[in-house]
C-alpha cells in the first residue's frame, strides 16, 4: 500500500511539473506594453517561488522512496527509477524557470534604465532650449553677448554617453521584440527633438561668435579713435595754452 501511495505521489508530482512547464515556459509572450512586461515579471517570480516551494515535498518523497527501497527492495527499485526521472525533470524545471525569471528581470531593468536615461537627456534638451531662447533677445552689449555665448557653449559640451546608452538599450529591447512599438516611438521623438535643437543651438552659437567678433572689432576701433581724439585734444589744449595762432599750427591741427 505504501508503494502504491508513493507511486501515486510521483505521478502527481510529474503531472504538476508538466502543467507548470506548459503554463510558465511554453507560452508565447508578446510584451507590447510596459504593463504586460511588468505582469510577466511578477508572474515568473511567483512561478519561481511556487516551484522552489515544492522542493520540500520532493525531498520527503525522495527520502520515503529510498527508505522503502532499503526495506523492501523488490517494491522500491521501480520507484527509485521513477524517482530519478522525476528528480531530473524537477531540477530541469527549476533551472529553466530561474533562467526565464532572471531574463525577464533583466529586460525590465533594461526598460527602466532606458526611461531613466531618456529623462536625463530630456532635462538636458529642456535646458538647451531655454539657453537658445535666452539668446534671442540680448542687449547689444559685449558682456551680455559674451555671457550668453559661454552659457550656451557650456550646455553644448554635454557628453554623448547618455545618448549612446539610450541607443544601445533601445536597440537591445527592439531586437528582442519587446515594447518595440513604444520604444521606437519614444526614440524617434527624442532623436528628432535632439537633432532640431542641437542644430539650432550650433547655428545660434556661430551667430553669437560672429556678432561678438564684430562687436570686439568695433569696440577696438572706437578705443583707437578715442585715444587719437584724446591726443588731439591734449595737443590743441597745449596750443591754446601757449597762445599759438591757428595759422602757425601744422596743417592737421588747423
Distance CA 201, CA 195 (A): 10
Architecture per CATH, domain 1-211, reads as Up-down Bundle (1.20)
Instruction: Please list the pLDDT of the chain residue by residue as tens digits (254 residues).
Output: 677 888 888 899 999 999 998 888 877 667 889 999 999 999 999 999 999 889 888 899 888 888 877 777 766 677 888 888 999 999 999 999 999 999 999 999 999 999 999 999 999 999 999 999 998 888 888 899 999 999 999 999 999 899 999 999 999 999 888 898 999 999 999 999 999 999 999 999 999 999 999 999 998 999 999 999 999 888 888 877 776 665 666 655 55
- pTM value surpassing 0.85: no
User: Would you state the cell numbers that stand for residue 72, as one nine-digit string?
Assistant: 523492501
User: How many separate helices (H) and strands (E) can be counted in the chain?
Assistant: 6, 0
Residue 64 CA to residue 83 CA, distance in Å, equals: 11
Distances (CA, A) of 77 to 65, 69, 86, 87: 9, 6, 14, 15
- Contacts for 120-127 with beta carbons within 8 Å, 24 or more apart? 120/162, 121/162, 121/163, 121/166, 121/190, 121/194, 122/190, 124/155, 124/158, 124/162, 125/193, 125/194, 125/197, 127/155
Find how far residue 203's CA is from the centre of its chain: 27
Amino acid at each position: 500500500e505504501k508503494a502504491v501511495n508513493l507511486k501515486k505521489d510521483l505521478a502527481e508530482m510529474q503531472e504538476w511539473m508538466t502543467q507548470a512547464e506548459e503554463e510558465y515556459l511554453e507560452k508565447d509572450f508578446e510584451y507590447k506594453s510596459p504593463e504586460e512586461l511588468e505582469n510577466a515579471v511578477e508572474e515568473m517570480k511567483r512561478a519561481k517561488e511556487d516551484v522552489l516551494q515544492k522542493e520540500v515535498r520532493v525531498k520527503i518523497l525522495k527520502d520515503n522512496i529510498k527508505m522503502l527501497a532499503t526495506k523492501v527492495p523488490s517494491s522500491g527499485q521501480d520507484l527509485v527509477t521513477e524517482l530519478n526521472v522525476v528528480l531530473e525533470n524537477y531540477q530541469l524545471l527549476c533551472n529553466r524557470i530561474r533562467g526565464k525569471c532572471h531574463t525577464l528581470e533583466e529586460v525590465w531593468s533594461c526598460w527602466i534604465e532606458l526611461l531613466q536615461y531618456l529623462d536625463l537627456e530630456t532635462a538636458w534638451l529642456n535646458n538647451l532650449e531655454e539657453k537658445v531662447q535666452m539668446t534671442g533677445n540680448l542687449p547689444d552689449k559685449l558682456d551680455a553677448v559674451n555671457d550668453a555665448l559661454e552659457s550656451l557653449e557650456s550646455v553644448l559640451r554635454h557628453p554623448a554617453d547618455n545618448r549612446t546608452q539610450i541607443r544601445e538599450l533601445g536597440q537591445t529591447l527592439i531586437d528582442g521584440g519587446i515594447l518595440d512599438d513604444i520604444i521606437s516611438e519614444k526614440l524617434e521623438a527624442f532623436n528628432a527633438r535632439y537633432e532640431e535643437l542641437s542644430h539650432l543651438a550650433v547655428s545660434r552659437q556661430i551667430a553669437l561668435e560672429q556678432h561678438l567678433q564684430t562687436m570686439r572689432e568695433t569696440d577696438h576701433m572706437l578705443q583707437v579713435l578715442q585715444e587719437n581724439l584724446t591726443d588731439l585734444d591734449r595737443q590743441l589744449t597745449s596750443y591754446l595754452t601757449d597762445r599759438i595762432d591757428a595759422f602757425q599750427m601744422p596743417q592737421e591741427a588747423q
